[in-house]
């Protein structure tokens, strides 16, 4: 399952990429390929279990 906080971006005017890269809206940063495997739920990985950023964000979300 793909993380709901994952987006793909070609970068900004200052950092334009040829290929869209995985972007985490929790930390507002591009993520490394190994973490992107978690974001995309590849290889049996799961963001709810394997991503501390997701868990911290959800746990700390009062809404």
Site residues (vs ligand SF4, CB under 6 A): 3, 5-6, 24, 26, 31, 35, 38-39, 47, 51, 53-54
Pairing of strands 6-11, 16-24: antiparallel
d(CA 20, CA 17) in angstroms, rounded, equals: 7
Report which secondary-structure segment, H or E, holds 35.
helix 33-39
Q: Could you tell me the smallest distance in angstroms from the CB atom of residue 45 to ligand SF4?
A: 9
Decide whether 9 or 51 has the Cβ nearer to ligand SF4: 51
Question: Which CB sits closer to ligand SF4, 4 or 17?
Answer: 4
């Amino acid at each position: 399952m793909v993380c709901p906080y994952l987006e793909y971006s070609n970068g900004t005017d200052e950092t334009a990429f040829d290929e869209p890269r995985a972007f985490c809206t929790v930390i507002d940063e591009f993520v490394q390929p190994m973490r992107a495997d978690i974001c995309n739920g590849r290889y049996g990985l799961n963001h709810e279990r394997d991503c501390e950023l997701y868990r911290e964000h959800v746990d700390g979300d009062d809404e």
